[in-house]
């Protein structure tokens, strides 16, 4: 795993390899990856989300990249699939729009 990339793994085992900077948009993931010694994730740069389905994890990764672009450009509109409101996703994750 390259230094600046991380791997997010969905419930079905799909692996999303994205920029670390993008993944750190989520406070939860940021904590997991930067906390000294508490998480196995810090070593391998891999985080598994057994409650999040593949299609939703894909959307989340899209959100991360969009969020990074938000500050630098005037891109404002982003279409968000209603699937995201499935309750399992919403229970599992804390997000911090930064």
Partner 1 sequence: MGGACSRKQDQQDNEDDLHRRVSGRYFKSGSSKWLRTSFSRASTDISQGIGSCPSLMELCISRIREDINKYSTFSMLPRDISQQIFDDLVCSQCLSDYILEAFRDCALQDINLGEYPGFNDSWMDVISSQGSSLLSVDLSGSDVTDSGLINLKDCRNLQALNFNYCDQISDQGLKQISGLSNLTTISFRKNNLITDQGMRYLSGLTNLVKLDLERCPKIHGGLVHLEGLSKIESLNVNCCNCITDADMKAVSGLRSLKSLQIASSKVTDNGVTFLKALHKLTLLNMEGCRVTAACLESLSVLGALLYLNLSRCNLTNDGSDKFSKLQSLKVLNLGFNDISDAILVHLKGLTNLESLNLDSCRISDEGMINLAGLHRLKSLVLSDTGVGSGGLHHLSGLVNLESLNLSFTDVTDGGLRKLSGLSSLKSLNLDARQITDIGLAALTTFKNLRSLEICGGGLTDAGVRNIKDLTSLTLLSLSQNHHLTDKCLKSISGLTQLVSLNIANSRITRAGLQHLKPLKNLKSLTLESCKVTADDMKKLQSTDLPNLVSFRPE
47 φ, ψ (degrees, to nearest 5): -125, 130
Our CB check for partner 1 shows the closer of 44 and 98 to be 98
**31 within 8 A of 37, measured Cβ to Cβ:** no
44-83 positions binding partner 1, by CB under 8 A? 60, 63, 67, 70-71, 76, 78-80, 82
Nearest distance, CB of residue 43 and partner 1, angstroms:
26
CB within 8 Å of 25: residues ≥ 6 apart: 63, 64, 67, 68, 95, 96, 97, 98
Tokens of 57: 């994890």
User: Which H or E element spans position 46?
Assistant: strand 46-48
Residues 10-29, mask of contacts with partner 1 (x by CB under 8 A): -----------------xx-
Our CB check for partner 1 shows the closer of 43 and 71 to be 71
Footprint of partner 1 (CB under 8 A): 27-28, 60, 63, 67, 70-71, 76, 78-80, 82, 84-85, 87, 90-91, 93-98
């Amino acid at each position: 795993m390259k230094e600046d990339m991380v791997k997010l793994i969905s419930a079905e085992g799909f692996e999303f390899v994205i920029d670390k900077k993008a993944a750190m948009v989520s406070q939860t993931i940021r904590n997991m990856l930067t906390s000294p010694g508490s998480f196995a994730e810090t070593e391998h740069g891999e985080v598994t989300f057994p409650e999040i389905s593949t299609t939703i994890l894909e959307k989340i990764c899209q959100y991360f990249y969009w969020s990074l672009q938000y500050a630098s450009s005037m891109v404002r509109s982003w279409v968000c699939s209603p699937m995201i409101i499935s309750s399992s996703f919403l229970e599992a994750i804390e997000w911090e729009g930064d």
